[in-house]
Amino acid sequence: MSGLTDLTLSEALAKLDSREISAVELARAYLDQIAQHDDQIKAYLTVTADLALQQAEEADRQRAAGGPQGVRKPLLGIPLAIKDVLSTRGVETTCASKILKGYVPTFDATVVARLYEAGMVMLGKLNCDEFAMGSSTENSGYFVTRNPWDLGRVPGGSSGGSSAAVAAGMCAGALGTDTGGSIRLPGAFCGIAALKPSYGRVSRYGLIAYGSSLDGAGPMTRTVEDAARLFQVMAGHDPLDSTSMPVDVPDYMAALKPLPEATADRPLAGLRVGIPKEYFVPGMQPAVEKAVRAAIDRLADLGATTIEISLPHTEYSLPVYYLVATSEASANLARYDGIRFGARVQGTDLFDTYRKTRGQGFGAEVKRRIVLGTYALSAGYYDAFYGKASQVRTLIKRDFDRAFEQVDVIAAATSPSTAFKLGENVSDPLQMYLTDVLTIPANLAGICGLSLSCGFDENGLPIGLQILGPAFREDVILRAGHAYERSTEWWKQRPALVRS
């Protein structure tokens, strides 16, 4: 059936529930879309076509049986795809690294297991920057993913495969992970809705760690409503994860509705929106600033009150992040030695095997971050680098705490620019790192953030609006994002490459 991959996740679910389409028809439509476009986009590392069709057939059987079993599965028959840093039982999981080539987990990450329980049909595993280290998906150990809006540009990173697959209609939704912006940045570059949860809201069990105090998995979808549907299934305490918080999970679909004091034309009445002056950085692309300021004005038109705020320690976020994250990466990646799992390059002795396996298995960016982190943690430098960065991280969090005493959410650009050209920043790591300057503070503070499309630049590339909220208040940013999204036409735009 034509046009099935143009449906949002919520639209597809409604058609499945009404028996207008079958799960098998929907899965085949997405598999056909992958076959047609992924040779150009390169979003998938692994396509699990046989598994997807088996799961789709089972979903149709359950729907045909009716009764409470089908009711309990909120995503029954919906085709999704998973970033390759999340463990999937029986399906190769490589973190887009050659050092993990051939590794097949014996268990599912908790978020994957919850999606399965909700009725997900899994289409496959998605490309990313190796071990989630990058902002462009050019650091994959296998191949570069391209932006569906312009095949000569990056899709963002590290969840670039996830964002590209959603934007190109090659899955109804995807999971990404966010350590310093790796859900929100590719969401902005590809013009989709992308939610970074608060630290501790979603289980990290089975998420192969990069920065353990920063990482988190989140949904990437066409719309904010779709993100809320996926997030409802993912969120919640997990006893298998010591960083998972035992905090009640609200009804996120109900949270999309306006508050009682709102009206039809002012759905955000009563919402206080902070505008941080530090987030309109020098050198910001003019089209981005214009679109984001217009989006803020639109929030005001919808009833919100806008208030200028200051987050004075924002300028320190980048150096703090690249000390904290690389230090944690240095510790986390020490386990990849060619002995216990993954690839092995045999040497003349044990040390030589370590050296050759890691030397050939890790890419340049991963090696760079391991070296930086090891140096920051080394004797004589720990206090001056990692210790000091941890102290400044506390100041950054306090900035947000004070801001949220005045406002309910914070609105700004997701990125200072739209998607850059392939190869443009590869030889300049510092320039690449600056791409994350507006997303990193949220990870350091452990708060939640949402990116959604708010316009296009002169080259027809999507621009992202970022809405930040206090820890565990995803309901508030989802409500604000949904109201804004439904008042515009930006979310309806599709890349010409896949336009029906």
How far is Cα 373 from Cα 331, in angstroms, rounded to an integer? Answer: 8
Positions annotated as catalytic residues are 83, 158, 182
Angle CA(431)–CA(436)–CA(440) in degrees, nearest 5?
140
Angle CA(158)–CA(159)–CA(164) in degrees, nearest 5?
125
Q: Do 96 and 84 contact (CB within 8 A), yes or no?
A: yes
| Coil, strand or helix at 485 | helix
Query: If you ran DSSP here, which 8-state letter would residue 281 be given?
Result: -
90: region left, alpha or beta (phi > 0 left; psi from -120 to 50 alpha): left
Distances (CA, A) of 486 to 225, 247, 257, 267, 338: 10, 29, 12, 11, 50
**Which of these, 203, 183, 268, lies nearest to 466 by C-alpha position?**
183
Q: Do 13 and 79 contact (CB within 8 A), yes or no?
A: no
Q: Integer distance in angstroms from the first to the last C-alpha of the chain?
A: 12
Determine if the peptide bond prior to 415 is cis (ω within 30°). no
Q: Do 305 and 271 contact (CB within 8 A), yes or no?
A: yes
Angle CA(175)–CA(179)–CA(182) in degrees, nearest 5?
55
Q: Which residues contact 83 (CB under 8 A, 6 or more apart)?
A: 125, 126, 128, 159, 161, 162, 174, 175, 176, 177, 217
- Rounded (10°) CA dihedral 324, 397, 484, 416: -50
Q: Do 418 and 189 contact (CB within 8 A), yes or no?
A: yes
Q: Do 12 and 120 contact (CB within 8 A), yes or no?
A: no
Q: Do 47 and 27 contact (CB within 8 A), yes or no?
A: no
How far is Cα 212 from Cα 132, in angstroms, rounded to an integer? Answer: 12
- How many residues belong to the chain? 500
Residue whose structure tokens are 């944690």 = 328
How far is Cα 86 from Cα 177, in angstroms, rounded to an integer? Answer: 9
**Which of these, 258, 270, 262, 263, lies nearest to 304 by C-alpha position?**
270
How far is Cα 389 from Cα 374, in angstroms, rounded to an integer? Answer: 15
Q: Do 139 and 363 contact (CB within 8 A), yes or no?
A: yes
